[in-house]
Structure 1
Amino acid sequence: MGLHIRRRPLSDTFDTAMHPVLERVYRGRHIQSAAQLSIGARDLLHYRDLLGCEQAAMRIATAIIAHQPITIIGDFDADGATSTALCLLALREMGADEVDYLVPNRFDFGYGLSPEIVEVAAERGTPLIITVDNGISCHAGVERANALGMEVIVTDHHLPGDKLPPAAAIVNPNQPACTFASKNLAGVGVAFYLMLALRAELESRGWFTERGVGAPNLANLLDIVAVGTVADVVVLDQNNRILVHQGLQRIRAGRCRPGITALLEVAQRHASRLTAADLGFVIGPRLNAAGRLDDMAAGIECLVCNDPMEARARATELDRLNQQRRTIEQEMKQQAQETLASVQLDSSAPPDAIVLFDEQFHQGVIGIVAGRLKDEYKRPTIVFARQDEAIIKGSARSISGVHIRDILEAVSTANPDLIEKFGGHAAAAGLSLRAENLPAFTEQFTRNVKAALADIDDPNVILSDGELAAEVLDLPLAQTLRQAGPFGQGFQPPLFDGTFNLVQQRIVGERHLKMVLAHPQSGEEFDAIAFNIDPEVWPDNRVKQVQLAYQLDVNYFRGRESLQLLVEALAPAD
């Protein structure tokens, strides 16, 4: 059976001179004018449009001027780590002399601003808490802080519930009445906007003049913003593309944090050739590994340290944790697939939703396993692990068109006692429930997912930017596409389809299929690679022609650049 491919619908043409393939790519992403492609910093939305931003900045400015302690409460993923690091660096540059942070260890405290983590902050004597990448659903934590005489400023990007927490200020583009045009900011993007507002507030009070220093250039922190934005897989609307592009430019020019440089070095990636995807596949997992297996403080300290030698040591430790995470993930994925096999799951006709729990599953990697199973079976997936004797904790990942947080909210509204707590956004969410409620939850969750699937296209359909004629399938086009974008979630990398003659095929690594392909018309040969193939299916020497969905990539080897096809899907040609 061949691939299910459909061509992307195109917007109207627009009057800008560019490569016709690149124009087709942009039109397939609803670009209708050159203005929508601007990635200059001057086109960023203004912080004044972000509800609560100036109010929060005023309170923080007062704390800095009064030399009050400030505690940042982060989250234990890459977005939380980058948000925490950004605030630490910016606040210190702006003269905050008593600022520290707490990141709740997922195994001891769970997610977000819990009453327990508030107690730890209270022991430090802080009067002001700033949450980053969390807080919008942490009503009990905010209430506990208020009861202890502390104020809380919530900065978050996750969708709020029916009620907002009683915080001193809330900065979240998704809160009611916020007119900020980009609802897709990551947590680190929200934190960056707050720091911009804080700098302006301190300037208006003459703080920098009084101290005889200039206001800090916060653009120096855009490398951190880019990492967190891509790693959190938020939609790359124009505002986010500007943030990512500006950060990428700093990294490529070697003007980034020592920790980011060190993470690239341990991953053996060259900064000058970095793409947005590399931020998600190279840096993000190594930061995430700290929060998944140990303590996210390791990732934060790598980002904030100024000494290159210290940064290299910290990056090496993060790389070790990432290798350990991969091993655990592979074992968990094998367990998950065995569980799926035990219920006789047919990959060609999977259930409407996949819900898995195993006593041996590791809390730290359930999100990764859920994502891998979601990709493999094209169904919303939740993987649960044991949190304690009574509670299991789940990580959910969803497909395009099925808003996973809305699904959980629908289940919770109809069954108020079923879910203990939940939060998240369209593509990913987290939840916890009592173990005995899992069967009832699975039934209700599956029912709601089934209804949502009825309203979307077949998730097995691959959206393509079309075929490429032999005369344009070349290295210059690959280089042009590499410099375009940045591409990512919601602004997908260019993906093409076509049929090629299969000249050579062999396995490299454990599960990667290396191929030599020939164009059926011109006969020109190309290198190609498909990652994580099914070794029971490929290589297949009986197949002489294949249908592909692929990206164009620039391969660097011994100082030489060449065209390579990155194969996302392949099947024997009919």
Structure 2
Amino acid sequence: MVSIVVREFPVPAFAALHAHGLSPVLARVLAARGIGGPAELDTALARVTPFTCLKNSQRIAQLLADAIAAQKKLLIVADYDADGATACAVALRALRQFGAVVDYLVPNRFEYGYGLTPEIVELAANCASRPDILITVDNGIASVEGVAAAKALGMDVYITDHHLPGAHLPEAAVIVNPNQPGCDFPDKQLAGVGVIFYVMLALRAELRNRGQFAADDKEPNLANLLDLVALGTVADVVRLNGVNQILVQQGLRRIRKGQCCPGIRALCQVAKRDLSRVTTYELGFMLAPRLNAAGRLEDMSQGIECLMVADESTAMQLAVQLDELNQQRREIEIGMRAEALSKLADIDLQQLAAAPPGDDQPMNYSLCLYHPDWHQGVIGLIASRLKDQLHRPVLVFARGNTGDIKGSGRSIPGFNLRDALDLVAKRHPGLLTKFGGHAMAAGLTLAEQNFELFRAGFEQVAQDWLTPADLERVIETDGELKPEEMTLALAHDLAQHAWGQGFSEPSFNGCFQVESQRVVGEKHSKLKLRKPGVRQTHDAMLFFHADALPPIIQTVYRLQVNEYNGETRLQLLLAHWYEVASELTESLSVHN
């Protein structure tokens, strides 16, 4: 069941924003998202939280400065997603500008799995140029064994990460993570790329204090890295408030001005997006999937190289390869999703058990699916799609390399997935080989023969923590728009802001008559909609729906600037719809 709820907003904040010159719609949208006044709209870099508030940032800066002075060999160990790729590129670019001897290593997810494992440490130790120091980006906080292995081989480890820590921290030389115990940094939602950007800010300050930047030696401008920071932050779906909002806004401005790396420019081109009009949508749904495709299907080094190259033609070649990988990923995902949906025929997800699950009751507060032929690199996407469709925690598993299975999960508000896995591990010692992640996304490994035991244990936690009401999807909107408010100008105004997790893109609800409908791309609907009693019609798109719509529908939609054949028009993007009651349909028909 789906409930549509209109967001409330504080009237004083609305009044202050409206008095500042914002339209009534934009003022109420921002007020509903916690913006209390005009001052909070300032996204100048000067407003970011100082790096001195991030625990150990100054300590790691001192260690890195010493390493650069001694010309020690540094090796970045990156994660294989877009956050990890951008974090790696930020570290490489900044450190090389600072004079460091640095290279990188990104694990192949199919051979080595996630994080700084002992196997990755051994691989690093056997590099042609054996590193003195390993620096993790977007991973490492759970790498207790990997850090121990590195120390045994005489390599120091500097951890930069943002994932939630486990019960024991690795014995690294230094750890920078806003979520580690004792860190008072207020913006806990920094992405991995945000953490390493802060570390580079601290390092630059340390090098400045040591006199490295003489009068004739220009100090590196780290703002040039904000295009990468914005891309990685949006791609990792962290909350876009506080520091993240500023970093993303600043990065978007640079991208729109063409002040971005050749790789981002090339990715926009292969995605057929206008660089000057890039929004968080393009970053999250156009560029990030192409980067992630490398890590999902092959090797994320392709994505990192695309972000690192200075040559435009080479960047385009790499972007084309990433685009082709993304097409392959889509085909694999379509097949896996169809198989996953077919498995749901045996699971009654609508029947909510009032008592704890037993042999005669369906497990329906959560969903765990496994198929030995599914692709490891795509299971997270399938979990995300099913979570959106079914509105419950979902874990999808594929076969690993050594008799185990690997799972990737996505969760719903109010259910901390990482903590849920921790509770399963405590209730069933030895069941999980490893696990980690966030409240909303996590991964785990277990023996194949233990899948059913895990599914039952996870379902028990879900039933302990969730209620039937939690499993009802709630769509929040910003209310109805008056006919005169549905303008291209408003769509342009909305597109200038950085919307994302925790700062959701505005959506509106309203009743429309379906004037016309035609199928495009074999599975999407191109519509003409009209508010009852109003002459003006609006273009609209309803994706993944080709069946005929009823004459009058209630919708949830977003405003979109649509450019086609040199013409710019307002378009409604439908996110949800249902048929209006027949008696209301008859009433509206008589009225018209």
TM-score of the two chains, using structure 1 as the length reference? 0.96
Which string of whole-angstrom CA distances, capped at 9 and with x for unpartnered residues, describes residues 389-444 of structure 1?
A: 42100000111222111111121122221111111111111111111211111111
Q: Which amino acid aligns with 2:375?
A: H
Match of 1:84 in 2: 88
SS at match of 2:240: coil
Match of 2:112 in 1: 109
Per-residue deviation at 1:458? 4.8
Determine the C-alpha separation between the residues in 1 that align with 2:244 and 2:91: 19
Per-residue deviation at 1:120? 1.4
**Equivalent runs, 1:40-439 vs 2, <5 Å:** 40-96=44-100, 98-124=101-127, 125-209=130-214, 212-343=216-347, 345-346=349-350, 351-439=364-452
1:30 aligns with 2:30: no
Determine the C-alpha separation between the residues in 2 that align with 1:376 and 1:496: 20
Per-residue deviation at 1:511? 2.3
Determine the C-alpha separation between the residues in 2 that align with 1:7 and 1:415: 42
Per-residue deviation at 1:268? 0.6
Match of 2:561 in 1: 554
Determine the C-alpha separation between the residues in 2 that align with 1:347 and 1:508: 36
Determine the C-alpha separation between the residues in 1 that align with 2:284 and 2:125: 35
Determine the C-alpha separation between the residues in 1 that align with 2:383 and 2:522: 22
Match of 1:572 in 2: 579
Q: Which amino acid aligns with 1:363?
A: Q
Per-residue deviation at 1:532? 2.2
1:473 aligns with 2:491: no
Determine the C-alpha separation between the residues in 1 that align with 2:12 and 2:468: 29
Determine the C-alpha separation between the residues in 2 that align with 1:347 and 1:551: 32
SS at match of 2:254: helix
TM-score of the two chains, using structure 2 as the length reference? 0.93
CA contact (8 A) 1:554 1:564 kept: yes
Determine the C-alpha separation between the residues in 1 that align with 2:397 and 2:89: 29
**Percent of paired sites with the same residue:** 49
Per-residue deviation at 1:450? 2.3
Match of 1:499 in 2: 511
Determine the C-alpha separation between the residues in 2 that align with 1:452 and 1:34: 40
Determine the C-alpha separation between the residues in 1 that align with 2:72 and 2:471: 55
Which string of whole-angstrom CA distances, capped at 9 and with x for unpartnered residues, describes residues 499-544 of structure 1?
A: 00011112211322211100113231001111223x5xx223xx11
CA contact (8 A) 1:502 1:517 kept: yes
Q: Which amino acid aligns with 1:531?
A: F
SS at match of 1:448: helix
Determine the C-alpha separation between the residues in 1 that align with 2:455 and 2:86: 34
CA contact (8 A) 1:36 1:238 kept: no
Determine the C-alpha separation between the residues in 2 that align with 1:530 and 1:217: 44
Which string of whole-angstrom CA distances, capped at 9 and with x for unpartnered residues, describes residues 89-119 of structure 1?
A: 11111111x2100001001111000001101
**Equivalent in 505, 515, 526 of residue 514 of structure 1:** 526
Determine the C-alpha separation between the residues in 1 that align with 2:352 and 2:327: 32
Per-residue deviation at 1:213? 1.7
SS at match of 2:33: coil
Q: Which amino acid aligns with 1:532?
A: F
Determine the C-alpha separation between the residues in 1 that align with 2:335 and 2:7: 37
Match of 1:440 in 2: 453
CA contact (8 A) 2:111 2:401 kept: no
Determine the C-alpha separation between the residues in 1 that align with 2:92 and 2:309: 11
Determine the C-alpha separation between the residues in 1 that align with 2:522 and 2:388: 19
CA contact (8 A) 2:280 2:499 kept: yes
CA RMSD, 1 decimal: 1.6
Q: Which amino acid aligns with 1:127?
A: D
Match of 2:7 in 1: 8
Q: Which amino acid aligns with 1:232?
A: D
Per-residue deviation at 1:343? 3.4
Relative to structure 1, the CA distance from residue 307 to residue 241 in structure 2 (aligned partners, 3 Å threshold; closer, same or farther) is: same
CA contact (8 A) 2:227 2:260 kept: yes
Q: Which amino acid aligns with 2:548?
A: P
Report runs of 4+ in structure 1 exceeding 6 Å deviation: 347-350
Determine the C-alpha separation between the residues in 1 that align with 2:400 and 2:80: 16
Relative to structure 1, the CA distance from residue 347 to residue 415 in structure 2 (aligned partners, 3 Å threshold; closer, same or farther) is: closer
Per-residue deviation at 1:344? 5.2
Per-residue deviation at 1:453? 2.3
Q: How many residues align?
A: 565
CA contact (8 A) 2:347 2:364 kept: no
Determine the C-alpha separation between the residues in 2 that align with 1:348 and 1:301: 49
CA contact (8 A) 2:391 2:471 kept: no
SS at match of 2:12: coil
CA contact (8 A) 1:347 1:377 kept: no
Per-residue deviation at 1:209? 2.2
Relative to structure 1, the CA distance from residue 532 to residue 13 in structure 2 (aligned partners, 3 Å threshold; closer, same or farther) is: farther
SS at match of 2:92: helix
Q: Which amino acid aligns with 1:77?
A: D
Which string of whole-angstrom CA distances, capped at 9 and with x for unpartnered residues, describes residues 117-156 of structure 1?
A: 1011112321101000000001000010111111100000
Per-residue deviation at 1:29? 1.2
SS at match of 2:251: helix
1:539 aligns with 2:548: yes
Q: Which amino acid aligns with 1:158?
A: H
Determine the C-alpha separation between the residues in 2 that align with 1:457 and 1:357: 25
**Equivalent in 524, 535, 550 of residue 523 of structure 1:** 535
Per-residue deviation at 1:346? 4.9
CA contact (8 A) 1:74 1:104 kept: yes
Determine the C-alpha separation between the residues in 1 that align with 2:494 and 2:419: 35
Relative to structure 1, the CA distance from residue 344 to residue 459 in structure 2 (aligned partners, 3 Å threshold; closer, same or farther) is: closer
